[in-house]
Structure 1
Amino acid sequence: MNFQNNLEFAKSLDAQDELQHYKNEFHFPQHNNKNVIYFTGNSLGLQPKSTKKYVDDVMNDWANMAVEGHFYSEKPWWDYHERFCEPLSKIVGAKPSEVGVMNTLTVNLHLLFVSFYQPKGIRYKILCEEKAFPSDQYLLQSQVKFHGYDPSDAIVEIKRREGELTTRPEDILAKIEELGDELALVFIGGVNYYTGQVFDMKTITAAGHKAGAIVGWDLAHAAGNIELNLHDWQVDFAAWCSYKYMNSGPGNASGYFVHEKHHTNKDLNRFAGWYGHNKERRFLMEPNFDAVEGANGWQVSNLPVLSLAPYLASAEMFAKVGMEKLIKKRNLITAYLEFILHEIDKEIDGTEFEVITPSNQNERGCQLSVYLHGQGKELFTYLMQNGVITDWREPNVIRLAPVPLYTSFEDMYNFGQILKQGILNK
């Protein structure tokens, strides 16, 4: 498509957008009595207007039924989590029996590592990407220390080449082959939080398995953003937060995936709890653990239903829209934002900023990371003060995520004009 950097063209794209009306289904912060341009859905998604009803339903059932709400509310609490299996399976490309929701992201990853990081002999190393999100770095360090290894030896980072800002796929595959029999686990973020680069999960997973390793993914920036086929790719395990692209609220519950090939493996360690026990016999209070078959067998504690309610509101919205439509708009609106950025750069002097996210649509989601040349945090502050909510990462990167559910093409044009003015005003 031949894009144009003008308001009329942006409005014409909005008029053709079959998801345009979903923008009205969300609450926006206000700036001068107008909706802000919101680019930080990769950090915290906006609140769907339907969320309040889902939470109020639980509150009303608690008020009116008390403990009986576990069994007699419209959505009984004791199996509330099972309502996520179908919609989440479509979002991540899994069977309903392979997904569940509990706890928060890093807690779930630690629980999954109990099962899937089992170092033995020379096979103890973990491969991860350079500049992984800090919580993943801390997770890996503590896990290898727990097993008695030195993180500087047991954790191997795939380095970016000198002068390059993204990781070359061939370097990941080469490192997997190099580590060979020493490799216990490949664990990478499906989308790098800093650059927005999407990794080839299918190819990397196959390479890890060929080397005899387990392969797991942190999908915090991937779930609800990119196409995933975890079952077909034979991914061993994965987990994701729900508060970014899936709009469930700050710090909310995490989804997780365990491939069905592991569901009946009695040799896997796991930290057991009451809610992972045989559902039909749970209230017999038996002394020995009998895991639910499927991902729900990794459940541990009683359900945080008040936390799950906002997530369910969003998950059901995703089920209604479908990932295919979201990805179609994501590709178009992200491409238009990239075009706007380049146009504004040319209108100034062509040296003000650089998009470091890959231009190939297969290697990115809806995030564009922009490296500011000759600009400091003042530009970020200017944007924030003029109704553009974006994200700053040191040393001088702003991250822009045009989430397809609630950003418009007109937003992209207006952002370009504000950005241009901010640079000219410095």
Structure 2
Amino acid sequence: MRTTNILKAFILFGIISICSSCIEDYKYEEVVGPPQIAFSTNETEFTKQSGSILSIKAIVIDGQDVRHEWKYNGEVCSESAELAYELTTVGTFKLEYTCTDVHGSSNKIFTVNVKPGDIEGVVFSTDKSEFTKSIGESLRISVTVKGTDPATHEWKVNGAVYSTTTQFDYPIIESGDYEVVYTITKKNQELKKTFKLTAIASEHSSNWFVWQDMKQYVICLKDDETKVVTHHNGSSQFVIETYNGSNDQKFMKGNYFGYSAGDTHLEYTNIYNVGTNMTMNEKGAIVSADVTAPGNCAADGWRGWYFIIDEHANARMVHFLETWDYTATYTVAIKGCILTVSDDKRTVVPVFYDRCKEDGVRDHNDYNALEGQYYDFKIKAVEDM
């Protein structure tokens, strides 16, 4: 019997040793794959003028010691993360990006349509001639002139001269239709191009920003538009970082509500961070926006914001509670909320104020006392960055 027990113990020890070895081998098995890459644009097809610069940046999300390669029309044109390529030939071409590391490679194909310029020797920063933008945005167009002949420039907005440089940067303050005419004079010859701008505002107020469907925006600091509102997975705050084109720095409209009757004007937009699908509620807390598809998230007034545009095209972010006329919200315990930036301009912080001094009675005094203090943001479409 004793010999049998020793044998059983030996067999059991061997089984345990084998299983432990298997578990240890499994525990240290590393699962790897090719690099994960994001891009500074969501577009896969571009239409550009001959002579313009095609600029795209590849952003490495996951990868080790990656190697970049861009091929235009089959020829290598860059081996860095950023591409800045002058388009000199009219036609349709393939742009192929490849990122490689020790675990594999990732590939992305773009189509580039190059068309003749509208004015010979002049390259515009945009190929569009008609724009629809909200108040609070800016219409920005620049020109590059080929050759060394001296030239003069003129930009007119609805007949009035606005700029005489190669840069046109027009902040949109009022809704309406605008005609922008660019004129270049060189060799005693005038050449013109006309642009059309439709500026829109909320139908419920002439100074409320409009988030357009399926359009991506960046929320910038008003005094430094290279600094933008950002959110990263796991973070409990929106932070301010230098713009690099990542989805963590982009926002979209996911739902909209608006109502007007008599003196009542209600509105909110549910916006969400494209990279993390998170938003902010009335307490300034980061919460899920419950995104179900691009451009769609939960309709929720407690996560709803509207955006007041001032005379300088700056945006104030105000919670829906400020306009909500539901009597139950007129309580001392439920504060109003505006978003601003911290003193060190590193994070977004809520500013709370009393919507009423006694339950059931609306009081605007504290809100009005904030006037002019918290216009901290500019809202720009991603393509304008």
TM superposition score category, shorter chain reference: under 0.3
Give the structure with the larger strand fraction. 2
Give the structure with the larger helix fraction. 1
Using CA pairs under 8 Å that are at least 6 residues apart, name the structure with larger relative contact order, 1 or 2: 1
| Rg (Cα) greater in structure | 2
